[in-house]
A and B are shown apart, each in its own frame.
Chain A
Amino acid sequence: MDKLTQIASKIIKEQELVIGPLAWSEARKVQGLRVDSQKGEVNISNGDPKATVDRLVAQYERLFGRASHQVCREAAASLVAGLSLAEIPLSLRA
């Protein structure tokens, strides 16, 4: 699993702790993301993976505000640390 898919997966699972199954149903609405809440699987389909992660973060923020954005940042922090600035989705940059 590539880093950006891992980041998307980590974000969804962290959001699940706060909002429950809604985290998965909201993720399902994000273009370019395929999720299976039963198996806990996340895949980014072809396209721009960084933009997909940005859309995922925005999806949560649109509904739940800035706090949810911060939760996404914290969830992704350890994975983002291994990426160059250019590889990091805009929404997760410091």
Chain B
Amino acid sequence: MAVRPPSKSIAEYQAELKALGEEMYNHSLELVRLKRELEIANREQESLLHFISHEVKGYLTKSEAAFASITEGDYGHIPEKLKTMSWAALSEVRKGVATVMDILEATNFKKGTVAYAKKKFDLRAAIRDVVSQLEPTASEKGLSIELSIGEGEFLFEGDEDKLKRHVIRNLIDNAIKYTPRGVVKVVLTDGSVIRFIVEDNGIGITPEDMKNLFTEGGHGKESIKTNVHSTGYGLYIAKKIIEAHGGRIWAESDGDGKGSVFFVEFPTA
């Protein structure tokens, strides 16, 4: 078979190669510049979000104090109707404060400005405390909470406030929100690792929603229908806090309508 002579000279091939190299460089440079612009835009957006959240929190906190004063009778006896309205308003404002706090906390995580006050505390007592706070909400829905956490003290070193609010409370509260009827099981086990488990027989998690479960603003397509006020930051914050304690979190579900199990695992000291 005859070999065809090259259609171009070596110099022409070299020129083509150089042009390709330059083109690749220019594309890569464009990407670097876009990345920088994106980083600046992200920083500005985070800063704005933080500022707005902080301002809104200030207004909500003032409203919260005002409604609390009315409800607690600081202005003397008030008609029953007003008292009921005031309670409802206080409850809504508190939800608003909690939402804004979640957003603030998430921006703090992104900025890396979260500090942890770690000390030894009784993990069992913390779980019991959260469960007793949430039991009335569960009862209102006709749900029961089954606690299986053992007896006595269970000392754990960590930031008690953050773990209680963002991990224990968040997971049990979610289980209540996303379970129309039935049982929420709360389990604590120890051994080579410490495991905190929250299981429900609620709406479950679709494989598609599972992918975004612990991401920032990661709403599930189905879960948002049940909890329209979800900020999508709860599990993101929980994951960050758990990781800061050397632990991990994951969820299992057989899918839509088949309940969920959330696992939190910490290494033993």
Real binding pair: yes
- Contact B18–A19 (Cβ < 8 Å): no
Interface status of B161 (Cβ within 8 A of chain A): no
A contact residues vs B (CB 8 Å cutoff): 17-19, 63-65, 67-68, 71
> Which residues on the B side are within 8 Å of A17 (C-beta)?
32
Residue of A nearest to B29 (CB): A18
Which positions 16-56 of chain B face chain A at CB distance < 8 Å? 18, 21-22, 25-26, 28-29, 32
- Listed by A's residue number, 24 A-B pairs whose Cβ atoms lie within 8 Å are A17-B32, A18-B25, A18-B28, A18-B29, A18-B32, A19-B25, A19-B28, A63-B18, A63-B21, A63-B25, A64-B21, A64-B22, A64-B25, A65-B18, A65-B21, A65-B22, A65-B25, A65-B26, A67-B22, A67-B25, A67-B26, A67-B29, A68-B25, A71-B29
Write the nearest CB–CB distance from B15 to chain A, whole angstroms.
12
B contact residues vs A (CB 8 Å cutoff): 18, 21-22, 25-26, 28-29, 32
> Which residues on the B side are within 8 Å of A64 (C-beta)?
21-22, 25
Please report the C-alpha to C-alpha distance between residue A71 and residue B65 in the assembled complex, in whole angstroms: 57
Residue of A nearest to B36 (CB): A17
Write the nearest CB–CB distance from A33 to chain B, whole angstroms.
20
Please report the C-alpha to C-alpha distance between residue A63 and residue B19 in the assembled complex, in whole angstroms: 9
> Which residues on the A side are within 8 Å of B25 (C-beta)?
18-19, 63-65, 67-68
> Which residues on the A side are within 8 Å of B22 (C-beta)?
64-65, 67
Write the nearest CB–CB distance from B201 to chain A, whole angstroms.
51
Write the nearest CB–CB distance from B13 to chain A, whole angstroms.
15
**Minimum-distance CB pairs A-B, first 4:** A65-B22, A64-B25, A18-B28, A18-B29
> Which residues on the A side are within 8 Å of B29 (C-beta)?
18, 67, 71
Residue of B nearest to A14 (CB): B32
Residue of A nearest to B17 (CB): A63
Write the nearest CB–CB distance from A24 to chain B, whole angstroms.
16
Question: Besides A63-B25, A65-B18, A65-B22, 10 other CB < 8 A contacts?
Answer: A17-B32, A18-B28, A19-B28, A63-B21, A65-B21, A65-B26, A67-B25, A67-B29, A68-B25, A71-B29
Please report the C-alpha to C-alpha distance between residue A71 and residue B26 in the assembled complex, in whole angstroms: 11
> Which residues on the A side are within 8 Å of B18 (C-beta)?
63, 65
